[in-house]
Each structure stands twice: as structure tokens, then as C-alpha cells.
Structure 1
Amino acid sequence: MTTYVRGGFVRGEFVRVGGVPHHVEVTGDGPVCVLGAGLGLGWFDWDPVVPLLAPHRTVVRFDRPGLGLSAHARVAPTLRGEAERILRVLDAVGLGGARATVVGHSLAGFHAEAFARLYPERTEGLVLVDSSVEERPRTLLPRGMRVAATRACGALLCATGLPRAVGPTLRRLTAPTPWAWLYGGSRVWRAALMEYVTYGDAARELAVLRRRLPLPEGAPVTVLAAYAGSGSRRWLDRQRELAHALDAAFRVATPSGHLVMRDRPAEVARAVLTAGPEPRPRPPEPAARCPE
């Protein structure tokens, strides 16, 4: 489905990646940027930011398997798999070969950075929005054991009817959205649980990539941290340290909770626009004619 909005077109569609139907929305016109939402979140969490970017960027949003409107995940996520997913989604919507500014919020910050390191030829810039940070990543149990236990626990949890009973309400309390009903289904809960239990694996994979592969030369990197007040000072310091380690520009969105794209969308849009190429000049809109 394609409709016109100010600044360009929005095209919602489903594409197959690894045999799984992925929900994707492409909005606007210009250089490409791709937005990745955090653990358990969906494409709609970027809604406040997209209108600010669409006049200047081709904005790509998609739901990872099990989240949003995408189909069930077939396998547990890996960091390399998520970086490749970004690449394959861009190719599937007709943006193959295009360089993109890759934006990752929270857990998706791991995915975005991995993409930049693995596919430097496709990276125009990197923006980490209150990204996850793990200075000394570790896991306590073998991955296979954790994945199997999570699948069993997810099935048991969903059989109790708990997601349907409390999921939409919890989502509305976290961040109001008309799509809160999605959190009443078992699919989203299972996907979010699996992302949570494999979080440590992603952090360890990224630590290895950082030692082996540099960030692309000439691609600007920005760390945008949320700051709500003095109580979050330690988190702000960790974000600053991440920016230093990546030789990145450091910005602070304040006052803001973790969902920066909802609390301070203009700050997120500014970080994205300054991390990518200058937009093509748009032709002036025709002046309105007065009635005769």
C-alpha cells in the first residue's frame, strides 16, 4: 500500500527475509536512513520522528521477527544475523546498493553498530540512540540451554493467558500507542523474551567485532544519550564513555526517558540529519492562486 504524505510517499509492505515475512514501511524521499527500535518495540515507536525526517530522507522502518506485524521468528537472534537482516530488508525494498545512515535505539544500537562494521560499503553514518552499553559482557549459562528454557517458559506463560490480560495495559503505561493491542498476543511476548535472554550473546559478539573490524572511515558516528535528571548520571557517563570509545560525537537529549524518539523526536531527527549527507534541494512548492 502506498500513500502520499508531506515530504514524500509512505509504502507499507511485507518482504521475506530468511523465509520470514517482515513488515516494512518506507517513507519520504532522499538519502536513505534505517531506524531500528529497541528490545520488544515496533515500527510505530518511531512515529514522532518520521515526519521530521521524511522531507529529507527515505526512511525505512521494519519489525524484527515476532515483533510488530512481522511473522514468528524461526531461530533465536544473533548479532550477525540482525546486521544481515538490515542489509536484506534494504535490498528487498529496492534500495540495494544504497548507502544508509543506520540508526539503532537501545538493543538495536548493537545491531546498527554491527551493520556498520560488517558492511562499511553500505554505511553512510551511524546514530546510536540511548544505545545498550556493556563494558564487560558475559553470559552465565550456555546459549542452547537458555534458548530452550526461554521457549518452554514462553509457551507456558502464554498458555496462562497473561499476555492477553496485561500486555496491552502494560504497553500503554510504558508509552501510549494505538498498537498496544499487539502486546496481547503470544508472538510479541515470545520474541521479546528471546531478545532479552540472548542480549548477552549480542553484547559478546559486538565486543569481538570491535576488536576485529573498524568502523567505516569517513562515516560520522553520533551517540545520543537520554538524560532525565541527576538520578541517571551514571547512565549518562556510560553513554559518554561509549562515544569516546567509538570516536563519536556525543549529544544529550534532556529531559528524556529511554524512549528518546518519543520524548525528544526533534533531537533524534537532528542527530540523523547531521550524520548523513546533505539532502537534495527540494523544488519550491507552487504558490496558491487566488480565485479570479
Structure 2
Amino acid sequence: MTFVRLGDKAVPHHVRVTGSGPVCVLSAGLGLAWFDWDPVVELLAPWRTVVRFDRPGAGLSGHARVPPTLAGEAERIARVLDAVGLPGPATVVGHSLAGFHCEAFARLFPARTSGLVLADSSVEERPGVRIPRGVRVGAARLCGAVLSGAGLPRAIGPVLRRAAVRGEAASAGAVPGDVVRRVYGASRVLRGSLLEYATYGDLATELTGLRREYPLREGLPVTVLAAYSHGTTTWLTRQRNLAASLGAAFRVARPSGHLVMRDAARSLAEAILDTAP
């Protein structure tokens, strides 16, 4: 376990580096933590140097002090790699919201990107926001302060985590209860999640601009892996369209819920290894 600061006054970032070989960076979706990648890391470690990190307000990292921007999240990936002495190039793997972050990294740091994998990534065909950013950020911070002051994270945070990840307690990759309580019983995780949720539309809009201004490097291997469970055909269509727009290979993990790294770890590991052999 390592904690790094990505600047003199930056918050401590929790980072884990496992395995050997070409570098691969795993970035999880909103509200998730480093341990959600455990089943995938086990499969990748013999072949890849795997870097996992918690964004501010997630996992074991410090509080989120500023609302996120897409360019800032892409730079965060670059700084994490620099901090652990692995400047790249790297295959970047983004799940859900972090798919935005990793695609932005590939566009803004093309020389440092050897491959891009989007694991059931967020998709916004017509992004936009109606409420001013400052109002949304202020409301998220106020809500976080009120709920934290009432002791809600400690009271129900771990319970909600267990409910969201169905069957986790009985699975081979189960997360120990004390770790779940340490992470999801913390107010910083609630506050950080609310802040990322409040600025989701801003990041989607920012990505639209990056796609116009910064094309992906010619020849960059890209894979879109969509999760499939019964009745999600509309979601599959959107994921397939995303792959087509990026010139990416398209794969389906089935059966799998949105947490594809836990539900279909082997499918995701294979997609990562095949994208940048």
C-alpha cells in the first residue's frame, strides 16, 4: 500500500502497484474503490504491472477538496504514474464514469497511452446541464455536510455497499467487513461521491469538446466491453455505438451487471490483454 501526493498541497492518494510487465492502469467508477478490481488484478498480475488508485473522496484517499474536471482527471492519471515511477506508456482501463477519464487521458496524453479499454463506460450522446455548476456543487457539499453530521455514512454506508454488490459476501472475491466499514463508513467517501455525481454532466460535456479537438492517436488499440444481463439490449446498442464512434473493438461480458470487474473478471482481463498484447 502506498500513499502519494500529486503536488505540494495535494491530498494523499492511495495507490497499489501489483505484478510485472507492461503497465496497465485501472480506474473505477463513481463510489468504488481499489478492492473492486481484485478479481481482475489476480488475472492480470502475471502479465502486467497493474496500477490502481483511489481518487480523492474514494477508497482510502483523502478528502475531495475541489470539484473534478475531465482534464484534471486525465492529468491525475499521468501524475499517479509519475509518482510511482511508471511514466508509461500504459494501457488505461476506465469503468463507468472513469471511462470518461481514461478516454480523456488517451486524447490528451497520446504518447503515454498504449491502449484504451472502456469497461461498461458511461455514455452520453447529447450531454448538457441545466443547473449552474456552482449551484450543483454547493448543493452536493451541503448535502454531504448534513448527512455526515447526522452520522449517516457510519450508520448505513457499509449496508448500502453490501446491498449494491449483490452476493459479494459469498463470493470468492469478497471484501472483508472491516475494510468495507473503513471505506463506506467514512464521510469523505459520501462527500466525494456526491461531488462526482453533481459534476457528471460537466465531464460528459467536456469530453464532447475533447473529441472534437484531440483525436485519438492513429492506430491506438481501443476496446469497448459492455456488460449484459437480461433486458439490457438498449444499453448494448449504446455501447456498440460508442465503440463504432471510437473505431474500437466491441465485446460483451455476459452475464454481467454493471460491476463487470467483479461479475465478469475473466472477460475484462482478456479484453485488456488482447487490446495491447
Q: So what's the TM-score if we normalise by structure 2? A: 0.94
Corresponding residue for residue 4 of structure 2: 15
1:68 matched to 2:45? The reply is no
Corresponding residue for residue 200 of structure 2: 199
**Which has the greater radius of gyration?**
1
In the comparison of the two structures, how many residue pairs are matched? Answer: 264
Contact 1:46 1:261 in 2 (8 A): yes
Equivalent residues in 2 for 1:107-146 (5 A)?
Answer: 107-146=97-136
1:180 deviates by 1.7
Contact 1:30 1:58 in 2 (8 A): yes
Greater CA deviation, 161-170 or 127-136?
161-170
- Cα separation, 2, equivalents of 1:108 and 1:250: 18
Corresponding residue for residue 137 of structure 2: 147
1:211 deviates by 0.7
**Letter aligned with residue 237 of structure 1:** T
Aligned to 1:46, which of 31, 37, 42? Answer: 37
1:55 matched to 2:52? The reply is no
Contact 1:224 1:250 in 2 (8 A): yes
1:248 deviates by 0.3
Aligned-partner SS, 1:110: helix
Corresponding residue for residue 19 of structure 2: 28
Note the residue ranges of structure 1 that are not aligned, 5 or more in a row. Answer: 1-11, 278-292
Q: So what's the TM-score if we normalise by structure 1? A: 0.89
1:227 deviates by 0.3
1:51 deviates by 1.0
Contact 1:129 1:225 in 2 (8 A): yes
- Cα separation, 1, equivalents of 2:41 and 2:151: 34
- Cα separation, 1, equivalents of 2:14 and 2:77: 12
- Aligned-pair Cα RMSD in Å: 0.8
1:122 deviates by 0.2
1:139 deviates by 0.7
1:43 deviates by 0.5
Aligned-partner SS, 2:5: strand
**Letter aligned with residue 135 of structure 2:** M
Contact 1:169 1:180 in 2 (8 A): no
**Letter aligned with residue 206 of structure 1:** L
1:104 matched to 2:94? The reply is yes
Contact 1:38 1:106 in 2 (8 A): yes
- Cα separation, 2, equivalents of 1:94 and 1:167: 35
**Letter aligned with residue 154 of structure 1:** G
Q: 1:53-72: CA deviations, max 9, x gaps?
A: 00000000000001100011
Aligned to 1:171, which of 157, 161, 184? Answer: 161
Q: 1:146-202: CA deviations, max 9, x gaps?
A: 111111111011111111111101101222322321111111000000000000000
- Cα separation, 2, equivalents of 1:74 and 1:157: 18
Name segments (4+ residues, structure 1) moved above 4 Å.
none
Aligned-partner SS, 1:95: coil
